[in-house]
Amino acid sequence: QSVLTQPPSVSGAPGQRVTISCTGSSSNIGAGYDVHWYQQLPGTAPKLLIYANSDRPSGVPDRFSGSKSGTSASLAITGLQAEDEADYYCQSYDSSLSGWVFGGGTKLTAL
Amino acid sequence: EVQLVESGGGLVQPGRSLRLSCAASGFIFDDYAMHWVRQAPGKGLEWVSGISWNSGRIGYADSVKGRFTISRDNGKNSLYLQMNSLRGEDMALYYCAKGSGSYFSYYYMDVWGKGTTVTVSS
């Protein structure tokens, strides 16, 4: 059971908009710690996708966006493309555990 | 180019030890925190341990506390993970990751290595 809760899977047709939620608690997201998102393409290492809730590293398309409110965060992908098929993980710091926590991951399928 | 290369994985019996290494290049190693993150086969990511730039602050996941020890040698641009009393549930792909700042408890992980596989089996 992960400290951050994500849906196991989401899907969408090419060109559509999909969102992935990440729900935490008062010791992590709700405590004000930033949320970060990672994309893991099949058979590869994770890659930073969104940092500090809504910022994109250079090279990440603006189709990807993040937001945070209260004890939750979400990742939105607009104009879905087949190459976006991957596992997506949210991450935050947890003060009760004194360590980093990840969501269980969400598998995105482009139909 | 920032690069992280892990090594030291392999097959080990339950209860034995293994030491992982991560060679860093392309950035000023002693300016940044470093982490180990693992991924069991078919499972999600799990943070294992983090260490601040000067080894002054270190953290561990509860699942490895007391068994694993993280360390770094800034003179050699290297990160290590000493794993003792290994269990079946420690079997995973272990990634080395660079923090985006000096302290492991605040800065996210902005660069990841390709990982090294640890198999725990008798």
Question: How confident is the model over A12-37, as pLDDT tens digits?
Answer: 999 999 999 999 999 999 999 999 99
Tell me: pLDDT of B105 over 90. Answer: no
The encoded tokens of residue B36 equal: 């180990």
Q: How confident is the model at residue B106 (pLDDT cuts 50, 70, 90)?
A: confident
Query: Cα(B3)–Cα(A109) distance, rounded to whole angstroms?
Result: 30
As a whole number of angstroms, the distance between CA B70 and CA B51 comes to 7
Q: Judge whether A46 is closer than 8 Å to chain B, CB to CB.
A: yes
Task: Give the long-range contacts of residues B74-77, CB within 8 A, separation 24 or more.
Answer: B74/B29, B74/B30, B77/B23, B77/B24, B77/B25, B77/B29
CA dihedral B107, A79, A69, A20 (to 10 degrees): -80
Cβ neighbourhood burial of B56 (10 Å; 0-12, 13-18, 19+) = exposed
Q: How many helices (H) and strands (E) does chain B have?
A: 0, 11
Mean predicted lDDT score pLDDT of chain B = 96
Q: What is the CB neighbour count within 10 angstroms for residue B36?
A: 27
- Per the CB < 8 A criterion, the answer to whether A80 and A66 are in contact is no
Q: Do B44 and A89 touch (CB under 8 A)?
A: yes
Q: Do B47 and A102 touch (CB under 8 A)?
A: yes
**Chain B residues whose beta carbon lies within 8 Å of the beta carbon of residue A57:** 110
pLDDT band at B104 (very low <50, low <70, confident <90, very high): confident
Per-residue model confidence (pLDDT) at position B11? 97
Q: What is the mean pLDDT of residues A71-89?
A: 97
Give the span between the Cα atoms of B27 and B38, in whole angstroms.
23
